[in-house]
């Protein structure tokens, strides 16, 4: 038995004890050995497309996780049918080499479905992304993904692109951030090279546009984007868009665009809970090319509890811990991790406590101003004398501190992302039209500023 067969056997043993007998017998039992190792992947031949898709969707991430654990270094599996193998074996294409970080169409090869950790906060978004990737243009077009900073929108969107390319390398996928599109359009205006612009954006099968809110106010770009959107949409080309807010709440984006975004399917990604964050840390650890593959549970929980609202920060903390402990040759204990993270935690504690006090202060200044109790400001009563101050307090916290809507929701009796978002947008609109409301908000702001100067 070669090394890869041995590795596969270990994984199979683990899968046998993890999954029920039926799943194991149907899916894994026929897959006795590996086929080859190439392009950073161990290949396993599967009898048909159905089994392949089932494994890719449901078990691939677990398999890769076990593989990395048993191999003591990152390694990935690929399940292929016989018919796929022939063309693939003759194809020595750089696009297939995952050691290259970028693939055609500006795609980051490391953002895949199998390393996207799924939990309650992103389950629906993930399922829909898989469906869209399986049948581009047919299931939900456009797919509109929104959520707060650092929660995985780009990862999921590029996961769609990578999956589509994995199925068919000839598909033309194009990933662009909205500011990149604005820049390309500005260049087009300067040089009048319409053919280049069209070649880049029209001769494609899948368009992925990240952070569409950046296009707010860029009217001419929006008009061009509108034409492109319609052109691709009419041909059933898949479009995926991400944003920090729902389409209906986008500022300074023309309604004919936002209404088109709403024609397809909108999904959101929320802040992950503790268990989910710990799982993310475990999976990031397995994919790190360091010698550490196991971290004590209390240490993982410590890191996951310290970084709550942004997965990018959570990832950064893990990297810092690994680097610090490895270079100083220290064991991964809570004390050592605390030491490693101290500079980050210190600034965070400072700004958190400062901010928490400030959030409280905004809430009490608003409740004082309107002569209601703090309890009623935060509570569930639906009378207008409570609702307006509540919305104003949410709006002021968002505009001053720009923390996730969900976090603001937690400060107001666990209200959800969309409730807070709607409240903030409502106040933002109303102060433009209602001068007495604007005066009230300005007065409250002055009181807050006066307090901060004390
Ligand atoms: N569910 C997840 N599983 C694994 N990694 C994740 C997950 N969600 C986010 N990440 C990681 O967190 C980091 C930030 O994610 P990403 O850039 O996709 O966030 P975003 O929502 O697009 O942020 P922004 O609003 O700043 O554009 C990336 O490294 C990504 O791989």
Q: DSSP letter string over 233-294? A: HHTT-EEEEEESS-GGG-SS--HHHHHHHTTSEEEEE----HHHHHHHHHHHHHHS-SS---
Which residue, by CA, sits nearest to atom 25 of ligand 1? 149
Confidence (pLDDT) at 294: 79
Bridging pattern class, strands 238-243 and 143-147: parallel
Contact 143, 176 (CB under 8 A): no
Return the sign of the alpha-carbon dihedral for residues 383, 385, 388, 392. Answer: negative
**Ramachandran sector of residue 191 (left: φ over 0; alpha: ψ -120 to 50; beta: rest):** alpha
What per-residue confidence (pLDDT) applies to 213?
95
The two three-digit tokens of residue 231, written as one number:
């052109």
Q: What is the spatial distance between Cα 376 and Cα 368, in angstroms, rounded to a whole number?
A: 11
Q: For tokens 């089994």, name the residue.
A: 51
Looking at residue 57, what is its pLDDT? 81
Task: Give φ, ψ of 210 to 5 degrees.
Answer: -95, 140
* 114 CA distance to ligand 1 middle (Å): 14
Contacts of 137 (CB under 8 A, 6+ apart): 205, 236, 237, 238
pLDDT attached to residue 39: 67
d(CA 117, CA 280): 6
pLDDT tens per residue across span 222-234: 999 999 999 999 9
pLDDT at 76: 85
Q: What pLDDT is recorded for position 91?
A: 40
* Structure confidence by residue, pLDDT tens digits, 9-38: 999 999 888 888 878 888 888 888 888 877
Distance of alpha carbon 153 from alpha carbon 156, whole angstroms:
5
Report pLDDT for 286: 85
- The SS3 assignment for 1 reads coil
Predicted local confidence at residue 92, as pLDDT: 37
Give the model's pLDDT for residue 33: 81
pLDDT beneath 50: ranges in the chain: 88-99
Closest residue (by CA) to atom 17 of ligand 1?
Answer: 154
Instruction: Say if CB 82 and CB 45 are below 8 A apart.
Output: yes
CA of 111 to the centre of ligand 1 (A): 9
Contact 59, 34 (CB under 8 A): no
Residues having CB closer than 6 A to ligand 1 are 116-117, 122, 147, 149-155, 211, 280, 311-312, 315
**By alpha-carbon position, which residue is closest to atom 5 of ligand 1?**
116
Distance between the two ends of the chain, CA-based, in angstroms? 75
Residue 334: CB atoms within 10 Å: 13
What span, in angstroms and rounded, lies between the C-alpha atoms of 334 and 350?
21
* Structure confidence at residue 357 (pLDDT): 72
Atom of ligand 1 nearest to the CA of 111: 31
Residue 150 labeled ligand binder:
yes
CA 441 to ligand 1 centroid distance, Å: 35
Is the Cβ–Cβ distance between 112 and 159 less than 8 Å?
Answer: yes
Report how far ligand 1's centroid is from the alpha carbon of 122 (Å): 11
Burial 153-170 (b: 16+ CB within 10 A, else e): bbbbbbbbbbbbbbeeee
Q: How far is the CA of 351 from the centre of ligand 1 (A)?
A: 23
């Amino acid at each position: 038995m070669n090394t890869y067969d041995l590795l596969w056997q270990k994984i199979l043993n683990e899968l046998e004890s993890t999954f029920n007998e039926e799943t194991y017998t149907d899916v894994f039992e026929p897959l006795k050995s590996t086929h080859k190792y190439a392009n950073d992947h161990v290949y396993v031949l599967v009898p048909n497309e159905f089994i392949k898709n089932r494994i890719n969707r449901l078990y691939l991430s677990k398999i890769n996780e076990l593989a990395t654990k048993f191999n003591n270094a990152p390694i990935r599996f690929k399940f292929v049918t016989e018919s796929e193998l022939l063309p693939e074996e003759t194809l020595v294409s750089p696009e297939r080499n995952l050691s290259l970080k970028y693939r055609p169409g500006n795609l980051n090869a490391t953002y895949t479905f199998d390393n996207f950790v799924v939990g309650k906060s992103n389950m629906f978004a993930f399922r829909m992304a898989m469906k869209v990737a399986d049948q581009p243009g047919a299931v939900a077009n456009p797919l509109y993904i929104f959520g707060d900073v650092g929660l995985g929108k780009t990862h999921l969107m590029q996961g769609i692109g990578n999956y589509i390319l994995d199925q068919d390398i000839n598909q033309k996928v194009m990933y662009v951030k909205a500011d990149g599109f604005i820049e390309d359009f500005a260049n087009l205006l300067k040089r009048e090279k319409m053919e280049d612009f069209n070649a880049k954006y029209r001769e494609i099968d899948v368009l992925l546009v990240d952070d569409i809110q950046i296009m707010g106010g860029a009217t001419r770009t929006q008009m061009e984007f509108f034409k492109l959107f319609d052109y691709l949409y009419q041909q059933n080309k898949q479009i995926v868009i991400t944003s920090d807010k729902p389409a209906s709440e986008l500022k300074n984006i023309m309604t004919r665009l936002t209404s088109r975004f709403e024609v397809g399917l909108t999904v959101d990604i929320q802040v992950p809970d503790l268990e989910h964050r710990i799982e993310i840390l475990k999976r990031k650890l397995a994919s790190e090319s360091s010698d550490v593959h196991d971290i004590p549970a209390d240490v993982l929980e410590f890191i996951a509890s310290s970084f709550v609202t942004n997965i990018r920060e959570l990832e950064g903390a893990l990297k810092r811990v690994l680097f610090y402990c490895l270079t100083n040759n220290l064991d991964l204990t809570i004390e050592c991790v605390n030491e490693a993270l101290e500079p980050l935690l210190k600034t965070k504690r400072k700004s958190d406590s400062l901010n928490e006090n400030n959030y409280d202060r905004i809430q009490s200044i608003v409740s004082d101003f309107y002569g209601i109790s703090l309890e009623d400001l935060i509570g569930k009563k639906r009378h207008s004398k409570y609702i307006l101050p509540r919305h104003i307090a949410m709006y002021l916290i968002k505009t001053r501190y720009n923390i996730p809507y969900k976090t603001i929701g937690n400060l107001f009796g666990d209200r959800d992302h969309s409730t807070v978002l709607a409240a903030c947008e409502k106040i933002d609109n109303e102060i433009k039209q209602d001068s007495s409301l604007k005066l009230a908000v300005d007065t409250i702001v002055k009181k807050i500023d006066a307090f901060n100067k004390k």
